[in-house]
Chains A and B, each alone.
Chain A
Amino acid sequence: MLAVVRKELKSYLLSPIGYIFIGLFLLMFSILFYNSIFAAGLAYFQYAFYDAATIMTFLIPILTMRMFSEERKSGTEQLLLTSPRSLVSIVLGKFIAALIIVLITILGTFIHFLVLKHFGTPDIRVALCTMLGFFLLCAAYVSFGMFASSITENQIVASVLTIGVFILMWFLPGISENFYYISLMYMFDHFPQGVIALNEVIRFVSFSILFILFTIIVLQRRKSVK
């Protein structure tokens, strides 16, 4: 698994993808932070994360769209799947590599916390709690994006599918309250309040595991129907 993680990280950081993702997110986060501090007059670090969750809806596919679809299109999938490595380790390797990029990005937002700390006394526990929730939300996004990438060899289709489903999850709670329970945004809502609700952590983790499993099943199934 480590070999796949290393290679994937190298691919993210040797190509513009990793930098575009990190750079774009931090730039947008800075704008949101500026707006919440100076325009809205709210000196809370965590508030910017509400809108950042929406931004991630559109940015995560940059990371995930190429995960399997590019391998499939270029034929390197054959190198992976004819190697003695298990499908679980390959899928987890790619997932973890994308999460590391996400983690680097989230840690980058901590600069804004330090800026606030210079002028006042922001609550570090709430900040860390928000960052944890945001990380879990991104993990769930990545797992779905990876699944979408495994079902098509077209990166555009994978990214449109990912964004489409995220937007759907975003609007579904407006139709019925029952959809709150599958809305990732709703699950994240409690973290910026400084509350780590175990059931929401479990829901994020379950969602991620579910789509990791689906990805493995898709790859396994393709072996027999290919």
Chain B
Amino acid sequence: MQKEGKTLIEVKNVSKRYGDFYAVRNVNFNVRDGEIVGFLGRNGAGKTTTMNMITGFMEPSRGQIIVNGVDVDAEPKKVKKMIGYMPEGTPLYSDLTVKEFISYMADLKCIRRKEKKEAVEKAIMQTGLDKVRNRLTRNLSRGFKQRVSLAGALVGDPEILILDEPTVGLDPKQVKEIRELIKSFRNNHTVILSSHILTEVSQICEKVIIIDKGEIIAIDTPENLEKSVETKQVYKVTVEDTEDKFQEVFQEDEQIKSWKKTDTIEDNTFVYEIELKENLIDDREFRKKFAIKCAENNILNLGIQKEEASLEDAFIKLIDSRQEYTNEEIKKMQYEKELEELREEKEQRKEEKQLLKEKKEELKQYKKMKKKENEDIENDSENDEGGED
């Protein structure tokens, strides 16, 4: 469900260029207050660049970024105070302890001395670092390092948290812990996180921004993105078919597009994959019809399961739909086009030549005919004169 909070981050026509290469091109999106937004894209898609521009670490080549009504370019200090940033790869000062690191982050964020102690303590407790607070960051496990980096971003309760690949390199348990932690920020912070892991984004985020080759290709909720690719109706059914009637019963069903046996569990128990024709029957109706048909024909229906389209399907479909051509391919296409034009021109000339030939032939015939006519007239007139004589 879309949140109704005010727009906190506005990214307007932002591009980042390195020479002729666009790392990010004409990116536009808004983030509302309290939202958890996920940046999804392959490695090198432009996620980190976009985040770096929001944090003020990089300047955009073109466009404008407004955070809570403040232009990042005009008043970076004000914007930076509102943002807690966790960079990719969890950079930490290895010679500082956990507490010293978080305390230094608090100093860098201009937190007042009176409030600093409390803010550091709160960040330590929130991220579960109490037991390791006096250990050097270089001696921590990857999971704890990630937490320390997160605590550094979180200290001082910034309105916005920008987390770049927060779970990369962690084991499944640590991933789960970090995800739970991020989920707990809901309602208190606006979070933008980047990831190339689809399940992560679908589990944590309310809105997904899919970015590829520096351009945004979709912005929607994970559910809507999944729905957008859910055009195929595919079911996996498990049946006990002692009389071997399945094929006979469903072969001529007009709503079924195709079916195939995918597995044999026991002697008479099979798994079939059935694909329906598009938009002929809804899910409920089909399940009902299938159950009745099975019962009528002594086929034991052991289970019917609809194959759900995942966010992964949406991602792959969107990426694939953006077919981009290499320079060589463009040259090849231009060459083929020119060749086609030449062929057409040649064909046209051939036709024209043929036409001209035909016309000439016609003219020749016409002249011949005329000549004959004239000769006939002359002969006739001579005959007439001879007659009179």
Separation of A83 and B108 alpha carbons in the complex (Å)? 6
The verdict on B273 contacting chain A, using a C-beta distance below 8 Å, is: no
Listed by A's residue number, 17 A-B pairs whose Cβ atoms lie within 8 Å are A4-B108, A10-B95, A11-B95, A11-B96, A14-B95, A75-B89, A76-B92, A77-B91, A78-B87, A79-B85, A82-B85, A84-B77, A84-B109, A85-B110, A223-B59, A224-B59, A226-B52
A130-147: which residues lie under 8 A (CB-CB) from chain B?
A: none
Report the minimum CB–CB distance from A115 to chain B (whole Å).
35
Inter-subunit contact A15/B108 (CB<8 Å): no
The verdict on B83 contacting chain A, using a C-beta distance below 8 Å, is: yes
Beyond known contacts A15-B95, A78-B57, A80-B108: 19 more, CB 8 A cutoff: A3-B104, A10-B95, A10-B96, A10-B100, A11-B93, A11-B96, A75-B88, A77-B91, A78-B85, A79-B91, A82-B55, A82-B57, A82-B80, A82-B85, A83-B105, A83-B109, A84-B81, A223-B57, A226-B52
Inter-subunit contact A83/B57 (CB<8 Å): no
Inter-subunit contact B100/A78 (CB<8 Å): no
Report the minimum CB–CB distance from B51 to chain A (whole Å).
10
B91-125: which residues lie under 8 A (CB-CB) from chain A?
A: 91-96, 100, 104-105, 107-110
Separation of A46 and B100 alpha carbons in the complex (Å)? 41
Interface residues on chain B, number (Cβ under 8 Å) = 29
- Which A residues lie within 8 Å of B57 (CB)? 78, 81-82, 223, 226
The verdict on B128 contacting chain A, using a C-beta distance below 8 Å, is: no
Separation of A148 and B215 alpha carbons in the complex (Å)? 37
Closest to B55 in A: A82
- Which B residues lie within 8 Å of A79 (CB)? 85, 87, 91, 105, 108, 152
Closest to B88 in A: A75
The verdict on A117 contacting chain B, using a C-beta distance below 8 Å, is: no
A111-137: which residues lie under 8 A (CB-CB) from chain B?
A: none
Inter-subunit contact A83/B95 (CB<8 Å): no
Report the minimum CB–CB distance from B279 to chain A (whole Å).
50
- Which A residues lie within 8 Å of B58 (CB)? 223-224, 226
Closest to A13 in B: B95
Residues of A in contact with B, size category: 20 to 34
Pick from A7, A11, A86: contact of B77, CB under 8 Å: A86
Closest to B76 in A: A84
- Which B residues lie within 8 Å of A77 (CB)? 91
Separation of A79 and B91 alpha carbons in the complex (Å)? 8
The verdict on A74 contacting chain B, using a C-beta distance below 8 Å, is: yes
Report the minimum CB–CB distance from B60 to chain A (whole Å).
9
The verdict on B56 contacting chain A, using a C-beta distance below 8 Å, is: yes
- Which A residues lie within 8 Å of B88 (CB)? 75
Separation of A174 and B315 alpha carbons in the complex (Å)? 68
Separation of A144 and B83 alpha carbons in the complex (Å)? 33
Inter-subunit contact B83/A82 (CB<8 Å): yes
Report the minimum CB–CB distance from B146 to chain A (whole Å).
14
Closest to B78 in A: A84
B60-95: which residues lie under 8 A (CB-CB) from chain A?
A: 77-78, 80-81, 83, 85, 87-89, 91-95
Separation of A7 and B108 alpha carbons in the complex (Å)? 10
- Which A residues lie within 8 Å of B52 (CB)? 78, 226
Report the minimum CB–CB distance from B134 to chain A (whole Å).
14
